[in-house]
Amino acid sequence: MRVVFVAIGDELLRGESREGNGAVLADLLTSRGLRLAQVRVVPDDFAAISRALSELCEPPGLVVVSGGLGPTDDDFTRQAVAFAVGVPVVCDEDVLAGLRARYAKVGREMHPSNARQAEFPQGSQVLANEYGTAPGFALRHPAVQAVASDPERVPSSLIACFPGVPREFAGMLADHLDRLLAEAGVQDAATLAKTRRREVTLRLFGIPESDMQGVLTGLPHYRSVAMRSLPTFPEIRLKLAELDDAAGYDAMLAETRAALGWRIYGEGDHDSHAAATLRALQAGGLTLAVAESCTGGLIGHLLTEVPGASASLLLDAVVYANSAKTAVLGVPEALLASHGAVSEEVARAMAEGVRHCSGASLAIATTGIAGPDGGTASKPVGTFCLAVADARGTRSRQLSFVGLDRSRWKRVVAHSALAEVRRAALGWADRPPP
């Protein structure tokens, strides 16, 4: 029995959106000792979807489908699955009532087109969606050939359809996958329990992937784990999975944490650098103020994406112009004139100024040259300065990341600032910096 994946959407074939749901499925299967057999992307076309499903349902197994469950005219998945299986589409009145109640709860009247999200191929089992409005569904597709060893039994594939919205797909898949694997005959619950490997996802910032590999290769128990590195600039998700040596796996985790130290800011696929920074502040009972020039509010944006950020973040001042640095934060004009806006001296004055006017226990400031113009021989494009001010004083550094476009450069500067805040909050200011 095998598992295959079908992503549906014209936008995926036109390059308007990137397909990532297949990777989510593959990752969950890997943690269960399974491998995704095939990935196929098909357009929003009734005939193409039906044809793909019929082809992929033989040999039998689990066919996971993403997309095409919305309320618009280009959402054909329900009808295409029904046609491929040979059943009509029917309305589930309980699901329809639930949709109406969900809209009423937020004070909205459900548009008639949303009623399509309560329609399913006859005989489907509804897959609850706790993350959005459109439920999924699963339905058996009988294959053509009988099993040679048992001619009386006709094999079948299980088609499981989920919304294409990444957050909804990932949440629903985690909720339903084990049961679907068992129902499809891919693995029963007992086998899953035996084959599921322990795996941890470590979140890293502050080390290139090649340097990380060099560190890990030199650890005594490196061969006791299966390692996967998944960089998403400027961070790395490091996945370490258990092989056959439980004690070696535990030892390798301890060695990895010790070797990479502060560069590991969290665990899990959904942890974030900003969330880890806020946790460090909250653990120390600290508050934060931010003064941003070159990052243009990105640090504050990353922090305020985390629920509860207001418990720690007091102020984010975007002081892009020199006049704003002086008027808002009190940076002396003479300092700007003598050292330039991109200097450790100005970054220190910004951090001290925003800490003073906010009353925060800790402050971070950024100033730099994003480019493509504005650099000099002594301060080329890509140069930036960071400063942290707290009760221990003010510390600053000048760094440079060259060859990056503005967007990527701003991201790495913002994450560098988060790393500085986290290190300061944890009392690691004297340890080697990023």
pLDDT tens digits, residue range 67-86? 999 888 888 899 999 999 99
What proportion of the chain, given as a percentage, has pLDDT over 70?
Answer: 94
pTM for the model? 0.72
Token pair 């992929």 in the structure block, residue: 56
Distance in Å from the first CA to the final CA of the chain: 47
Q: Name the 3-class secondary structure at 139.
A: strand
pLDDT reported for residue 114: 84
Specify the pairing of strand 199-204 against strand 264-267: antiparallel
State yes or no: pLDDT of 127 exceeds 50.
Answer: yes
Helices (H), 4-92: 10-13, 21-31, 46-56, 77-85
Neighbours of 217 (CB within 10 A): 10
Residue range 274-300, pLDDT digits in tens = 999 999 999 999 999 999 999 999 999
Token pair 């693995």 in the structure block, residue: 187
Residue range 356-383, pLDDT digits in tens = 999 999 999 999 999 888 888 889 999 9
CA atoms within 13 A on the CB side of 411: 11
CATH 3.90.950.20 in the chain, residues? 274-425
The pLDDT confidence band at residue 145, using thresholds 50, 70 and 90, is: very low
Distances (CA, A) of 332 to 280, 366, 374, 388: 32, 17, 22, 18
Q: For the chain, what is the mean pLDDT?
A: 90
Specify the pairing of strand 288-292 against strand 264-267: unpaired
Residues contacting residue 90 through CB under 8 Å, at least 6 positions apart: 119, 120, 121, 122
CATH 3.30.70.2860 in the chain, residues? 200-267
Contact 2, 187 (CB under 8 A): no
pLDDT reported for residue 144: 38
Residues contacting residue 285 through CB under 8 Å, at least 6 positions apart: none
Q: Is the CATH number 3.30.70.2860 carried by domain 200-267?
A: yes
Sheet holding 393-400, edge to edge: 313-318, 288-292, 362-368, 383-390, 393-400
pLDDT reported for residue 345: 98
Nearest Cα to Cα of residue 387 among 375, 370, 399: 399
What proportion of the chain, given as a percentage, has pLDDT over 90?
Answer: 71
The pLDDT confidence band at residue 310, using thresholds 50, 70 and 90, is: very high
Lowest pLDDT segment from 90-94, 140-144, 199-203, 367-371: 140-144
Q: Which CATH class is domain 2-194?
A: alpha beta
CATH 3.40.980.10 in the chain, residues? 2-194
Sign of CA dihedral 337, 338, 340, 343: negative
pLDDT reported for residue 149: 45
- What integer is the mean pLDDT of 148-167? 74
Backbone angles phi, psi at 102, to 5 degrees: -65, -45
pLDDT reported for residue 146: 37
- What integer is the mean pLDDT of 391-399? 95
pLDDT reported for residue 89: 93
Residue with the larger pLDDT of the pair 17 and 387: 387
Residue range 402-429, pLDDT digits in tens = 889 999 999 999 999 999 999 999 987 6
Q: Is the CATH number 3.90.950.20 carried by domain 274-425?
A: yes
Angle at Cα 386 formed by Cα 382 and Cα 406, nearest 5°? 30
Specify the pairing of strand 2-8 against strand 61-66: parallel
pLDDT reported for residue 27: 85
Task: Provide the Cα torsion 288, 293, 296, 299; round to 10°.
Answer: -30
Tokens describing residue 306: 């985390």
Q: Give helix then strand counts, H and E, for the chain.
A: 15, 17
pLDDT reported for residue 196: 61
